[in-house]
Amino acid sequence: MEWETVIGLEVHAQLSTASKIFSGASTQFGAPPNAQACAVDIALPGVLPVANRGAVERAIRFGLAVNGMSAHNINRRSVFARKNYFYPDLPKGYQISQYELPVVLGGTINIVLRDGEKAVRLTRAHLEEDAGKSLHEDFHGMSGIDLNRAGTPLLEIVSEPDMRSAEEAVAYARALHSLVRWIDICDGNMQEGSFRCDANVSVRPKGAQALGTRREIKNLNSFRFLQQAIEFEARWQIETIQDGGTIVQATVLFDPDTGETRAMRTKEDAHDYRYFPDPDLPPLVVTEATIAEIRASMPELPEQRRRRYMSEFGLSAYDAALLTADRELGEHFEEVVRHSLKEGEPLAGADFKLCANWVINEVSAKLNEENLPAAKAGVGGDTLGHILRRLREGAINAKTAKDLFSEFWSEARESAYARRGGDPRRVDALIESRGLKQMSDEGALEAIVDQVLGANAKSVEEYRSGKQKAFNALIGQAMKATGGKGNPARISEILRRKLAS
Ligand code: ADP
Ligand code: MG
């Protein structure tokens, strides 16, 4: 029997406000334990929560961004509710969250996979406060409680069970991660817990309509763990059913050391939490004026930018998605495009595909290697653009362009990325002083080709007997004879002509 995996994600994004969601205490990460927990956060009797406007605005930014800027999915009136449970790091005995009426209802995230696009529907996004942390080390057999995180604003983003593989779930989580940073509502720092995923996973026979029983994997804080955990969990569920067992709804933990998931507790249902509206907080009312003001402050969205790269620049959906995975990378790409133009050349005349390939293959590769954000790229978009301009003009060949780029990037690395390497003027100065100009002179290239043909009779023989590889070897020899500066297209033409005669 063939099986299908079904996944729905709950993501907790920590909103980047300076103070907490219901108190004025700081949200700064890394302070000594309990240094940032005020009377409201530690639940002293008689204190009252006051909602943080910045947190509400960030939730609205998110709502607009996942609904094509339309505010139909934003509840003009939503309600804070108490979710009651006992845990030492939850001093009030309840978490303030939203239940029946969340601030955002619905929306979509479009994910781009190699084999096409897919829309993942959002169920809701609601505001809530984070709990504190229990510390189990360094306390000589006791546990410590740090309430610095208590009251930190979270946006919980819940998807429909629309994903069908670990790859889709990761693509969705990445798209969401990129979006919350893009619209500046969350710093996305996964090590510090600013963006964490719970994955709900079930399996069913392929073609079945009804959903299987799900298990929920808690607190996955890296995309790799998300992928591994879902893959393991789905396999485990299929094997369990095939062995005659049944899946029991449960909350499970992923152990990165073993790569396995393990049941933590049977899952509670909503009614276990005794939700009710928090009488200390009035309903959250969002006015049209607030929405209009927030809409006016929104940047171009990744989705819009992706479509623009496709329609205006003629890029493939996949390339456009790679370039808009990160706001700064897209900006870098556009800077490269602008600087690749000759004086007075209109934007439409740019070689978008060439620029995209360089940013995707060269810049992104180096950023990944060095684990750097796009804003720290070792070579500026102006410098790379200028290198590509000289390449397009035929002043240098692709090899020289790559050498210059790598050399400049190394300069930045040497400064530990405190500054960028190279600049547009040095591109020209180096081409001049090192004599890097591409050799396109017909006569000179012909002489070199003749010499190479004379010295490589064996390759010529092989080529004539049908070995395509021998042709490349001859081009390589000729390029070498030009000190790497020959125009490969011209050399190839001359070679072909001479070999045919
Ligand atoms: P909670 O986990 O708090 O009980 P919900 O019941 O609303 O909340 O479900 C949370 C998540 O579980 C959603 O992302 C939803 O898409 C997903 N989900 C629900 N049922 C299934 C299922 N059978 N298989 C996979 N995911 C599911
Ligand atoms: Mg859940």
Share of the chain above pLDDT 90, in %: 84
pLDDT score, position 468: 84
Q: Is pLDDT of 268 > 80? A: no
Looking from the CA of residue 159, the nearest atom of ligand 1 is 14
The string of pLDDT tens digits covering residues 73-95 is 999 999 999 999 999 999 999 99
Nearest residue by C-alpha to atom 14 in ligand 1: 8
Residue 299's Cβ-side half-sphere holds a number of Cα atoms within 13 Å equal to: 15
What is the secondary structure of 79-142 as a DSSP string? -EEEEE---TT-TTSEEEEE-SS-SEE--EEEEEETTEEEEEEEEEEEEEE---EEE-SSSTTS
pLDDT on residue 320:
95
Judged against a pLDDT cut of 90, whether residue 483 lies above it is answered with no
Q: How confident is the model at residue 477 (pLDDT cuts 50, 70, 90)?
A: very high
pLDDT, average across residues 255-270: 85
> Does the pLDDT at position 467 exceed 80?
yes
Please give all residues whose beta carbon lies within 6 A of any atom in ligand 1, as ranges: 6-10, 158-161, 200-202, 211-212, 214, 216
Going from the Cα of 91 to the center of ligand 2, the distance in angstroms, rounded, reads: 22
Ligand 1 atom closest to Cα of 160? Answer: 16
CA of 178 to the centre of ligand 1 (A): 23
- Tell me which CATH code domain 442-500 carries: 1.10.10.410
Residue range(s) occupied by CATH 1.10.10.410 in the chain? 442-500
Distance 10 CA to ligand 2 centre (A): 6
Mean pLDDT of the chain: 94
What is the value of pTM for the model shown? 0.86
- Nearest-CA residue for atom 3 of ligand 1: 270
464: pLDDT confidence band, cut at 50, 70 and 90?
confident
Mean per-residue pLDDT, 291-300: 97
Residue 140 β-bridge partners: none
Q: Is the Cβ–Cβ distance between 186 and 16 less than 8 Å?
A: yes
CB-based contacts of 422, cutoff 8 Å, min separation 6: 379, 380, 383, 404, 407, 408, 411
Distance separating alpha carbons of residues 217 and 5, to the nearest angstrom = 14
Which of 65-74, 199-208, 356-365, 486-495 comes out lowest in average pLDDT?
Answer: 486-495
Taking the chain, what is the end-to-end CA distance rounded to the nearest angstrom? 62
Q: How many other C-beta atoms can be found within 10 angstroms of the C-beta atom of residue 271?
A: 7
Q: How far is the CA of 213 from the centre of ligand 2 (A)?
A: 13
Whether 131 has a pLDDT exceeding 90, the answer reads: yes
By DSSP bridging, strand 144-146 and strand 276-277 are: unpaired
DSSP assignment of 195-229: EEEEEEEEEEETT--SPPPPEEEEEE-SHHHHHHH
CA distance 142 to 355: 58
Run of H or E residues at 52: none
Burial (CB < 10 A; 0-12, 13-18, 19+), residue 276, is middle
Mean pLDDT to the nearest integer, 196-216:
97
